[in-house]
Amino acid sequence: MKSQNTIGILSFILVLFFSTSLHANNNSSSLTNLFQLANSNYEKGNYAEAVNNYKEIFGTNKGSAEIHANLARSLYRLDKLGEAIYEIRIASALAPHNSDIKNDLQFLRNLPSDKIEETGKFFIFKLLDNLNSSLSQKKVWIFFIISMFIFWAILSLRLFKPTRWFKWVIIGASVLLITSGYSIIKKTFFTPLFGVVIGESADVLSGPNADNIALFKLHEGAEFNIKATENDWLKISLADGKIGWINKNSVVF
């Protein structure tokens, strides 16, 4: 009786395993076919269909950098600049060293009429943020682990063979460790949510209500960071330090 129960359990596990594997393979095959269809539509100039295909992939999958980049290119062809910039930024975050995506991002960012220059940030933090944005989450962790290993290895060597120049090596290793630690903290806990204006123009107000004073106007493609949300409004900050509230219907985020 016990033997029969064991065989029954093993049979159930095997059936569950193979059915799960079959479902995963079918799902993977379906996504591949959909991705190929989207690319085919893009190449044929059927950009609206391509956009629908790429977005359908997101319904079952988070999407890769390539998919977000292709979606951005399709949206640009449909004159949807704001949405294109949003998608290419996601692609850039997923693959920060991809030269095609970097070129596309630079090209699209030159198109909006609003030219917002970053101000008010200490140059060291600018350098650190540039380094941070050039690394993926995985590479930031690798950078931190290597930095920590180097630091403790140098510190251990100093205990066995102390020399005058070792203190400068330790200082250098400490700077490396602090830099990598900053990258980890910034990437993990302080990466701001961002958004892009998609309407022809949008007023930025002094508060989360249509009756508030209009502080300034943004146009399609303008980028911002999100600081807070309240009902249908987003509190945003620009790279030049300006802050205000914008309606959610005017942006993608």
List pLDDT tens digits, range 118-177: 776 666 766 767 677 767 777 878 888 888 888 888 877 777 766 777 778 778 888 888
HSE-up (13 A, CA, CB side) for residue 244: 20
pLDDT at residue 123, as a whole number: 66
Residue that terminates a domain, selected from 86, 109, 132: 109
pLDDT at residue 47, as a whole number: 96
Q: Does residue 15 carry a pLDDT above 50?
A: no
pLDDT at residue 122, as a whole number: 67
Range(s) of the domain holding residue 185: 123-189
Say if CB 197 and CB 218 are below 8 A apart.
yes
Pairing of strands 214-219, 223-230: unpaired
Higher-pLDDT residue of 39 and 19 is 39
CA 146 to CA 240: how far, in whole Å?
Answer: 35
In a domain, 60, yes or no: yes
CA 148 to CA 192: how far, in whole Å?
Answer: 26
Q: Write phi, then psi, for 124 (nearest 5 degrees).
A: -65, -40
Considering the domain architecture, whether residues 18 and 103 belong to the same structural domain is answered as yes
Provide the domain count of the chain.
Answer: 3
Q: Write phi, then psi, for 34 (nearest 5 degrees).
A: -65, -40
Considering the domain architecture, whether residues 180 and 198 belong to the same structural domain is answered as no
CA 217 to CA 232: how far, in whole Å?
Answer: 18
In a domain, 204, yes or no: yes
How confident is residue 12, by pLDDT bands cut at 50, 70 and 90? very low
Residue that terminates a domain, selected from 109, 131, 150: 109
CA distance between the termini of the chain = 60
* Count of beta carbons in the 10 Å neighbourhood of residue 126: 11
**How many helices (H) and strands (E) in the chain?**
8, 7
pLDDT at residue 124, as a whole number: 72
The C-alpha angle with vertex 139 and arms to 136 and 140, in degrees rounded to 5, equals: 85
Q: Which helix (H) or strand (E) holds 149?
A: helix 137-160
Task: Kindly report the pTM of this predicted structure.
Answer: 0.73
Highest mean pLDDT among 32-41, 111-120, 132-141, 210-219: 210-219
Considering the domain architecture, whether residues 144 and 222 belong to the same structural domain is answered as no
Q: Does residue 242 carry a pLDDT above 60?
A: yes
Higher-pLDDT residue of 224 and 19 is 224
Compute the mean pLDDT over every residue in the chain, rounded to the nearest whole number: 83
- For 100, residues 6+ apart whose C-beta sits below 8 A from its C-beta are 69
Considering the domain architecture, whether residues 93 and 139 belong to the same structural domain is answered as no
Q: Residue 137: helix, strand or coil by DSSP?
A: helix
Which DSSP string corresponds to 166-199?
A: HHHHHHHHHHHHHHHHHHHHHHHH---EEEEE-S
Per-residue pLDDT tens over the stretch 41-96: 999 999 999 999 999 988 766 678 999 999 999 999 999 999 999 999 999 988 88
